[in-house]
Amino acid sequence: MTHSDHLVTVNLGPTHPATHGILQNVIQLDGERIVSAVPTIGYIHRAFEKLAEHRPYYQITPITDRLNYCSSPINNIGWELTVEKLLNVQTSQRIDYMRVIIMELARIADHLICNSILGVDSGAFSGFLYLFQHRELIYEIYEEICGTRLTTNIGRIGGFERDFSDIARQKIQKFLDIFPPALKEFESLFNRNRIFMDRTIGVGAISAERALNYGFTGPNLRATGVDYDVRALTPYSSYSDFDFDIPIGESGDTYDRFMVRNEEMWQSLRIIDQALRRLPAGPYHVDVPEFYLPPKSDVYEYMEALIYHFKIVMGEIPVPVGDVYHSVEGANGELGFYLISDGGRTPFRLHFRRPCFVYYQAFPEMVIGSLLSDAVITMSSLNVIAGELDA
């Protein structure tokens, strides 16, 4: 028997210990059991969709960086693929392979954060410290390729702004050599750890039917047993050339999500290795002068480059009219871009299908009836990134 005056209201957020982002959950407890959980979001609403209506296509890439900022390259490349679909630009195999390498590195970076923070939330700080060292290696690779560490603005419509240098290739190879033993060590600390298993098995479970009904995608859906992966079902950027498995779980609980993400990191390493070994020769951007900004040195010396630069920046290139939806497999699930173009310099409407926004709705259903500490672990294992949640 519960009486409502005996319920304790706990406000979890919006300023959150442990770096989960700005979310708020008003939780009502009966003793230690959760009776209701009401999430409130929007504390970091930055009006991306409104902003995108006022920026030309090539200026939207830095905005997409800030969606899921733990794996910015995936957002950037997803947007470039959407625009290339609109403009009917075909990229070469070299560009596709380069994109695949960068996207898989970003996926590893995101899963590193999620799994190590899950460790921190269940009390094990060491995993976080060890894995973050390797995240620095990924940052060094990004820095070599595009100049920044976190919000990368990587790539251009039609390819890349510069080729992979030798140093970049060496750094990627070094990462492929150094990281697997570290990941193995991390797994040995957690996978069969009695305390971790007791804290995560059976916690925050959701069935496959409910998950699909909510619109789950990504590792959270795969942990429930549904093997939907955008890379496999609707391949983009030559993903069909690569050999990789899609790990799935059984019960959709926290332990399964953790294990699925670990295994996905191994599969990403496999993909990067294949792509790096079979990287074909060729130019690092396609020859579409109407959409690919020419190098600045050419703009200062050649008339055609100057004219194209002017036309692209001032928006005098005719763009097809229509609706495009393109999605990529982000680290959290299907990251979709719905673009309505009216032929103008800026999109008429751009909507981001953010996976975090869609699956965070299921959080109350996943935690009602469990303990407060389970709610923290569940939230951490869902990998809710506030930037993607609020856009």
Partner 1 sequence: MATNNNQSVDMAPAPEGIEGSGFFLTSLEKAVGLARKNSLWPLPFATSCCGIEFMATMGSHYDFARFGSERPSFSPRQADLLMVMGTISKKLGPVLKQVYEQMAEPRWVLSVGACASSGGIFDTYSVLQGIDRIIPVDIYVPGCPPRPEQIIDGLMQIQTLAETEKIGYRNSPEYKARLAKYGIE
Partner 2 sequence: MMVKLLDTLQLPIVSRRSTFGMDEVLIAVEDWIKTFQVLHANGYSLLTDLCGAHFPESDAQYHVIAHVHNLQINHRIRLKTVARDNSNPQVPSLTGLYSGANWMERETFDFYGIQFIGHPNLTRILNSDDMTAYPMRKDFPLEDDTRDDKKDEAFGR
Q: Which of 306, 280, 286 is closest to 295 using CA atoms?
A: 306
Q: What are phi and psi of 152, to 5 degrees?
A: -80, -35
Q: What are phi and psi of 34, to 5 degrees?
A: -85, 130
Residue range at the interface with partner 2 (CB under 8 A); choices 2-10, 179-187, 351-359, 368-376: 351-359
Partner touching 215 among partner 2, partner 1, none, CB below 5 to 8 Å by kind: partner 2
Q: Does the footprint of partner 2 cover residue 357 (CB under 8 A)? A: yes
Going by their DSSP bridges, the two strands 321-329 and 33-40 should be labelled as unpaired
CB of 383 to partner 2, least distance (A): 17
Give DSSP secondary structure letters for 15-70.
Answer: S-SSS--S-EEEEEEETTEEEEEEEE--TT---HHHHHTTS-GGGSHHHHHTTSGG
Nearer to partner 2 by Cβ, of 7 and 51: the residue is: 51
Residue pair 298/256 in contact by the 8 Å Cβ criterion: no
Report residue 103 as tokens. 């996207």
Report residue 115 as tokens. 């799994």
Partner touching 213 among partner 2, partner 1, none, CB below 5 to 8 Å by kind: partner 2
CB of 129 to partner 2, least distance (A): 35
Partner touching 284 among partner 1, partner 2, none, CB below 5 to 8 Å by kind: none
Partner touching 135 among partner 1, partner 2, none, CB below 5 to 8 Å by kind: partner 1
Binding residues (CB under 8 A) for partner 1: these are 14-17, 19, 21-22, 42-47, 50-51, 62-63, 65-66, 69-70, 113, 128-129, 132-133, 135-136, 139, 149-151, 386-387, 390
Instruction: Put residue 100 in one of left, alpha, beta given phi > 0 → left and psi -120 to 50 → alpha.
Output: alpha
Residue pair 377/120 in contact by the 8 Å Cβ criterion: no
CB of 265 to partner 1, least distance (A): 18
Which spans of this chain sit near partner 2 (rule: CB under 8 A)?
Answer: 41-42, 45, 47, 49-51, 53-54, 85-86, 210, 212-215, 217, 226, 228, 233-234, 322-325, 327, 334, 336, 338, 340, 348-349, 351, 353, 357-358, 360-362, 390-391
